[in-house]
Structure 1
Amino acid sequence: MATIGDLLDVTTIYHEPAVETFPRGREILARYPDATRIAVPSHWNIPALHGNEGSVEDWVRIKRSTLVLGVKKGLTMRPNGRSAHFIAPSTSNGCAMACAYCYVPRRKGFSNPISLFVNVEAACAAIARHATRQGALPEPDTIDPAAWVYDIGENGDLSVDAAICDNVRDLVALFRTLPNAKGSFATKAVNRDLLAYDPQGRTRIRFSLMPARIAKVVDVRTSPVAERIAAIDDFVAAGYEVHVNFSPVILYEGWEADWRALFQEIDGTLSDAAKAQLKCEIILLTHNAGLHAVNLGWHPRAEDLLWRPDIQEAKVSEGGGANVRYRAGWKGRWLARFKAVLDETMPYCTVRYAF
């Protein structure tokens, strides 16, 4: 079975000059002593890397072989209100995986390997200060019954980041000390090193799941869906709160039967303890015309599933981007049917958020 480490063979590191003044920066550089180091003014401005809409060979090669190191400048919390109460300052950006629907390439050029920020102490301190100012959660809500929840992995996959350095371990340790706050991140990878992080119920991992035959097409370089499901019990036993993201929900002929089978697989795999704490998010696919055009150059089979103008319509995102989503008139009906199938097979799984 492939491991997290198999995703990476770092031979080139782009880094801001200040990276070497931070202990975490020196640790990461020492981990890859043979990698070519290229100093850049900013992790956001690497012309040789960002904007490369190359072939699949380049796309995957860059994700495997290239790492970017920078210093996080903005340390503000952004209100969310959906999956979390707040989006915390990212300790990473980009990913070693290559999911065909990922929105991050649209924001940071189409070549988006992992960028890690080496000033994790500053991010942790900013979260702690913010949580202290918040005080107690006034009342239970759909995000959490008792704690403010901070999404700590909005722009990457922390399970893979944890294979490179201890940023994720540091974040999990931080939330152990914050009685009124939890960390939360979604993942499509199983990194069993995280089982030793001792989260004490203060970190929520959300395993993203979809029918396996569809994931094999669109979830490129991720852990198999069955492996993600099988890991849930172990992560619950290790002290994590474990939820699932049914995301993205892609509509195609036969989708309902595939999802029912997935729900039955989950139900037949999880322990009673895991089921008792399980909640979920449901997120229907949002796609993008620019990403569609790029995908046609390296993964057209995915676009057979993702690009469906017959059932999609234009949508302007919260960030102002021009995207496409399933048509509003039908989306509500499909979502209601999805929830009904879920309730039939996993009635204990509360839907925290659906979109």
Structure 2
Amino acid sequence: MAKPLTLIDPRRIYLEPAVRSYPRGRAVLARFPDAEQVEVASHWKIPDLTQDPDLAADWLRLKREILVLGVKKGLTLRPNGRSADFIAPSSSNGCAMACSYCYVPRRKGYANPVSVFVKLDEIAAAIARHAARLGPKPEPNTVDPVDWVYDLGENGDLSLDATLSDNVRDLVAAFRTIPNAKGSFATKLVNRDLLSYDPQGRTRIRFSLMPEAVSKVLDVRTSPIAERIAAIDDFVEAGYEVHLNFSPVVVHEGWQPEWQALFAEIDDTVSERAKAQLKCEIIMLTHNEQLHETNLAWHPKGETLLWRPDIQETKVSEGGMRNLRYRVAWKRRWLDQLLSWHGARIPYCTVRYAF
């Protein structure tokens, strides 16, 4: 547990005043009694964090020393169809890790600390009501053959969140009581405290993996790739369903042997029991012009891998952001290559989707 605890040591906590009326809010504040408390009107609108471009150069310090506590207003569940059937209301936003390709900071200005939401009971109840209305899943799909699956960590990493509050423990417990649903979240952090949560097969953890050489540049403050792979068996033994998330796939000169070595390491390390339940998703890199500019202020080395206009093309998103993705014809060719390397070494790891 030593590594997760070093990732965030709050010196200042921004909080909405109503946070103190929730047991979860009071518990988090009691956990960090020496942190300065600064009240704000909204966890989304904190000028100290969002409006000063110079803060980007302090990216890692702010992630380590700042925590935000908020009362989540909306409890909407959205259809998904890829990683999950539905996206659940988030119990957090932001992350103390610093993966330089992460999309969450695009919406949070010039700092991206963890925001913890204190209405966990209401979030869990909203998921349970939604699943009850749906009833049994009528037919299998690529998400799951039996259960409705709810993504719990779209905007953060729950393995890290579990070092800050009991939100994750409570979510895992909630899914033990929902007969037709599973929770799911992707993670880049091995937090072995989660092994004691008794998920009973009702929570799916997706360990995000990429070649170690690329991860060392882009996956800042995360668990090493080898540690993530080595944890797979332990999490299966503890009652989790464990899948893999090959994301993002970053194309660069010399990428073939790196990916072939990664697939070989998985094959050589993971037990037969874990292999029998192993599935994965594959997502090619999408980058963003605004994030590129922010990254140049704190981690320009990563941009040599992420920002490749020579092999990328611009696509304007529905929200008006300028995103970069690999040129369509090349992306299809590269994805097919990756799938062939995957099929040659770990064919038992069913690809749920790839794009």
TM over 0.5: yes
Count of paired positions: 355
Deviation of 1:2 (Å): 5.3
Query: 1:25 maps to which residue?
Result: 25
TM-score by length of 2: 0.98
Write the mapping of 1:33-48 to structure 2, written as runs, cut at 5 A.
33-48=33-48
- 1:93 paired with 2:101, answer no
* 1:327 and 2:333 are equivalent in the alignment: no
Give the 4+ runs in structure 1 shifted more than 2 A: 51-57, 316-322
Give the whole-Å Cα distance in 2 for the aligned partners of 1:349 and 1:6.
33
Find the counterpart in structure 2 of residue 303 from structure 1.
Answer: 303
Q: Distance in 1 between matches of 2:247 and 2:78?
A: 22
CA offsets, 1:246-289, max 9 Å, x none?
00000001111100000000110000011000000000000001
Matched residues in 1 for 2:28 and 2:2: separation? 23
Task: Using the TM superposition, give the Cα deviation of residue 54 of structure 1 relative to its aligned residue in structure 2, in angstroms.
Answer: 3.2
Name the SS for the 2:295 alignment partner: helix
2:126 and 2:52 mapped to 1: Cα distance? 34
C-alpha contact (below 8 Å) 1:211/1:225 kept by paired residues: yes
Is this contact kept in 2: 1:55–1:298, CA < 8 A? no
Aligned equivalent of 2:59: 59
What CA deviation, in whole Å up to 9, does each residue of 1:86-130 have, x standing for no partner?
000000000001111111111121301000000100000100000
- Unmatched 5+ residue regions in structure 1? none
Could you tell me how far apart the structure 2 residues matched to 1:133 and 1:321 are? 36
Residue 165 of structure 1 aligns to a residue in which SS?
coil
Once the two structures are TM-superposed, the CA of residue 322 in structure 1 deviates from its matched residue by 2.2
Q: Distance in 1 between matches of 2:208 and 2:53?
A: 26
1:39-96 CA deviation, whole Å, 9 max, x = no partner? 0000001000124433665111100010000001110100111111000000000000
2:214 maps to: 214
In the superposition, the TM-score normalised over structure 1's length comes to 0.98
User: For residue 242 of structure 1, what is the aligned residue in structure 2?
Assistant: 242
Q: What do residues 117-173 of structure 1 show as CA deviations (whole Å, max 9, x unaligned)?
A: 001000001000000001011101100000000000000000000001100001000
Q: Give the aligned CA root-mean-square deviation in angstroms.
A: 1.2
Determine the C-alpha separation between the residues in 1 that align with 2:350 and 2:305.
28
Contact 2:172 2:183 in 1 (8 A): yes
CA contact 1:53–1:111 (8 Å) conserved in 2? no
Q: How far off its partner does 1:294 sit? A: 1.6
Q: Mind listing any 5+ residue stretches in structure 2 that lack a counterpart?
A: none
> Does structure 1 retain, via aligned residues, the 8 Å contact 2:58–2:298?
no
Alignment of 1:335-350 (within 5 A): 335-350=335-350
- Could you tell me how far apart the structure 2 residues matched to 1:187 and 1:349 are? 18
Given that 1:56 and 1:299 are in contact with CA atoms closer than 8 Å, whether structure 2 keeps it comes out as no
